[in-house]
Amino acid sequence: MNPRPTLSSIAAVLVAAWMSSAAVQAADKPGYDQAHAAAKAEQQAAEKRCATLAGNARDVCKAEANLARVQADADAEITYKDSVKTRHAAADAVAKAQYELARERCDDKGGNLKDVCVEQAKAALAKAQADGRAYEKSADANAEADKVKRDADYKVELEKCDQFAGDPKAACVNRAKATFGK
């Protein structure tokens, strides 16, 4: 396994979460609760397997189990209530769990190698968090731009309706409202 999270591994988690949420149109509350319960049960089973290990190997094993749970929980959150903020929070939680795993793996090293490993783990976390903030801001900006564009197009359609009078004008206005969700 890779000793530290990389941007590509974090991106893969984000893509997997996005694809799984796209595959499920709308999850119900019982399915959501079941996914969390399954993730918890799997983590507990994995931690029991970790108990047979000693020292840092046990710590790494537990961090891997925690990462798997965080990924499963993030997946369930996104599937249940998909939004930009949910995706950002899920990606942030996964990045933090990956950071904790990377830090545990660094404990097997010594001296400067450990220092470099820790700094790489911190850098990967900082990059993932920065990417998440940028994604959230760009999604918000895109939504705002889409709204402005939609409003502008709606005004154009209403202006076109001014060439009519009576029922044809009312029908034109109604079509514009229906088209632009007004």
CA atoms of 112 and 33, how far apart (whole Å):
45
pTM for the full predicted model: 0.66
In whole angstroms, how far apart are CA 117 and each of 80, 88, 111?
36, 26, 10
The per-residue pLDDT for range 137-160, each reduced to its tens digit, is: 888 888 889 999 999 999 999 999
Alpha-helical runs (H) found in the chain: 7-23, 29-50, 55-80, 84-106, 111-161, 166-180
CA atoms of 103 and 118, how far apart (whole Å):
6
Say what the pLDDT of residue 102 is: 96
The per-residue pLDDT for range 6-57, each reduced to its tens digit, is: 444 444 444 444 444 434 434 588 888 898 899 999 999 999 999 999 999 9
Say what the pLDDT of residue 6 is: 47
